[in-house]
Amino acid sequence: MNHQAHVNGTRRAIRGVMKIGALASIAAAAVAASLPLAAHHSFSAEFDASKEIKATGAVTCLDWQNPHGWIHLTVTEICERTAAPRGPNAAPDAAAVEQEWACRAPGSNEQEADWAFELGSPNGLMRQGWTRNSLKQGDVVTVLGSRARDGSTNSNARSVTTADGKRLFAGSSQNAAP
């Protein structure tokens, strides 16, 4: 085999390895990009937009994490109602009337007072004016949102109102006006 043939053969082999490497890199990037999507859930899979909740209590923790932030409260008052359908896909229903709020104190079971409210992503919250320090432990807030379908003390927050009346939108994944 002459020298030129050997060089050309080596070049072809290197190009083949590079193509395989490039394809493997693209495949790995596609898998990595899909992982956050697989871990994410739709709003309607976990929450019921027709079951509104308004909870007032003291902040125990603000979890600033992806894919969703969370506010944890020790609730002193829970108000619930069935809401009229909202959003662009809501079918108008003459029988669907927004109810008045039914408010109560949490039950004597300590777990009934511990609530968690899902927020948007930290980036989405920052676009809404939030910072990591927007809420501190002990701050009294009122959170408006939607109940979890499983009846747990988790909810999806639409807005958070502080004791001084400042209203922060929570970056909810719900497709409805706040």
pLDDT, block means (10 residues), the chain with 178 residues: 66 68 57 46 82 96 92 95 71 63 84 90 92 94 95 93 94 60
Instruction: Let me know: does 49 contact 146? Beta carbons within 8 Å.
Output: yes
| Cα–Cα distance measured from residue 32 to residue 117, given in angstroms and rounded to the nearest whole number | 28
Chain mean pLDDT for the chain: 80
Please give the radius of gyration of the chain, using alpha carbons only, rounded to the nearest integer: 25
